[in-house]
Each structure stands twice: as C-alpha cells, then as structure tokens.
Amino acid sequence: MPRHLERLLLIDSLLRTRQRPITLSLAKELEVSERTIRSDLAFLRDRFNAPLEYSSKLGHHYTDPEWRLPSIPLTKGELFALIVGARMLEAYAGSPYALQLRSAIARLSERLPERIWVNVQQLAQEHILFGGGAEVDLDPDIWHKIEDACSLRKRVMMTYYTASRDVLSERKLDPYLLHVYRGTNLYLIGYCHNRQKFLWFRIDRIKKLEILPEHFTPDPQFNAKEYIGNVFQHEVGDKQLDVKIWFDAKTSPYIRERRWHSTQEIEEHSDGSLTLKMCVRGINDLKRWVMWYGKGAVVKSPPELVELVRDELECMKSNYNG
C-alpha cells in the first residue's frame, strides 16, 4: 500500500475516535511532521470533499459521521456477499482461508457507516444458515506449502496416508492443481513419481510435506479441465466406462434436477422412469453413488459395475443374516 494512502487511512481512523485529535497528536501518532498532517487534511478536504472541521472541543472531526473515504468502492451488496462467503467457508470446517477472510471483511467494514455494517451483519447471521457436514482436520501449513509449490512449479516430498490400505507411504510428486470438491473435500492433483501417473490425494491425509529445491516442467499434454471433466465425482479410473443406470419413476425427479456429468444423456421412459447414460472414469465412486438410491436404481452396464454392486449387496445381506 502506498505510504500516502496508508497515512490517509490512519488519519481517517483517528478522526473517528473520541480522543479530540489535533494536528500535534496526529503527527506524533503517525510519526510525521505537523506540516505533513496539515497537507494530508487539506488533501482529504480538496480531493475527497471530506466534511472536515476543527474546534477546540472536538479537535479535527467530520461534521458528517456517515461520510466514508472512497478508497474502497464497496457496496452494501458486495459486503453482504463477502460476509456470506466467509460464513460459508467457516461452515466447511478445515478451510484454510476462513480467518483471513474474516479479517479482510472487518477491515473493509471500516469504510462503511456503522449502521449499514450492523444491518448487513445481522441479516447474514440471522437469516442465512450453513451446514458443512462432516468436518476435516486440515493443516493450514501444509495447504499453504502446496499453494507455493503449485505456483512455483516445485516438486514436493510427502508422507501420505492411504485409508483403503491403512498405510503410510513416502511419495515424490509434481503438484499441478488444487481441487475443492463439495466444499469439504480438498484434493491435490499431481504427477506421482512412485506410480508414474497422475493421481488425486486428499489433502487432510497428507501427514507431512516438504518443498524440494528442484523445479518441474508441466506436461504440455495435461489438460486440467478435460482431466477433471472425465472423472465421476473424484475418483480417477484407469479406463473410460460407458455407463447406463435405470432409475424408477419415484427416483427420476432427483436425477433430472441435476447435471451429474458433462457427458450425460437422459433417456425418458413412458412410465416416468429414465435411463442415465454417461462416459466416465472411477468405478468405485459410481458403485457408492448408485447404491445411495437403493432399490430406485439398477445398473445396466458396464458388466464390471453390475458385478461390483451385486457383490456389495451380497456381502451386506450376509452381514444381516445372523
């Protein structure tokens, strides 16, 4: 921030206190000369039309306390959007930016009349509620290191916990991008030197991360938008799958109201049921997703997905037989 603007913001803040600011006290507080303070006050009056006056009782003061510096052109609606955004981040526990965003909003609020700030804050707190679901335990230090590594194109060495195998492993990775899925699921996508392929890593499962001195050159064939677009939810499979899933009439409205994948097509049936068709990667996420709809969904293809769902149902049935 330019020094002159910083001084004007500090003077503006001091003028709103009840300490009867005078030229000498302002100069001491800002560690500048009285001449500089007089020049800054004149600048506020002449350039910004600040309603400034001086009296022995009040010192330098604004005759209109609602007046604000136009240095940050923030509207009431924009501030409301920021407050809602901050509360949304807080609802998704583990967000590494919630504290910084709250601090930024508090600073921005100083540019608005107090009455407007209170009204906006009250509206956001009382009438908009967020539920973030299950919380994640995210280490902000690891998150910010990943940010730096992605930006600087530097390799990292990380200790990663694989939940499906319940093991820790050391991995060297070229970090490409961060992906936020459904608010609470934060992923690092990069080229894993151990597996010699691009993989997704849950950031809350990274137990330790070190930025290495070596740089990497991104693969020119890697297209982030296309790569993520082929994935169903967040699982990357080894091959593309042509999927067909039938949904009964009672379940169909829940399928129609969303776009589940960029390749999806819906075939409507006369009885109100439908068949969802799409070409995706990630068979295990598909299995979990289709089973969420219970008897309202039936996998028609591919055969390996049909078999996966059938085996899961058989195991579930055996768990309850006793």
The torsion of the CA quartet 158, 163, 166, 169, rounded to 10 degrees, works out to: -20
The pLDDT tens digits of the residues spanning 190-220 come to 999 999 988 889 888 999 999 999 999 999 9
What is the pLDDT, as a whole number, of residue 153?
92
Which whole number is the average pLDDT over 229-249?
75
93 band by pLDDT with thresholds 50, 70 and 90: very low
51, two tokens: 């309603």
27, two tokens: 């100069």
48, two tokens: 């910004």
Which whole number is the average pLDDT over 279-300?
88
The pLDDT tens digits of the residues spanning 99-151 come to 666 666 666 666 555 555 555 556 555 555 555 555 566 788 898 898 889 88
More confident residue, 225 or 106: 225
Helices H, strands E: what count in the chain? 11, 11
- Whole-model pTM? 0.51
CB 305 within 8 A of CB 283: yes
* Res 311 pLDDT > 90: yes
What CA–CA distance (Å, rounded) separates 153 from 164? 29
* Res 188 pLDDT > 60: yes
What is the pLDDT, as a whole number, of residue 305?
92
What CA–CA distance (Å, rounded) separates 145 from 143? 5
More confident residue, 50 or 105: 50
**Residue 281 per-residue DSSP state:** B
> 217 exposed, middle or buried (CB, 10 Å; 0-12, 13-18, 19+)?
exposed
User: Considering the chain, what is the average pLDDT of its residues?
Assistant: 81
- pLDDT over 70, % of the chain: 73
* Res 281 pLDDT > 60: yes
What is the pLDDT, as a whole number, of residue 1?
46
> 73 exposed, middle or buried (CB, 10 Å; 0-12, 13-18, 19+)?
exposed
6 band by pLDDT with thresholds 50, 70 and 90: confident
Give the CA distances from residue 13 to residues 6, 194, 262, in Å, rounded to whole numbers and listed in that order.
11, 55, 51
The pLDDT tens digits of the residues spanning 133-146 come to 555 667 888 988 98
What is the pLDDT, as a whole number, of residue 229?
66
What is the pLDDT, as a whole number, of residue 322?
66
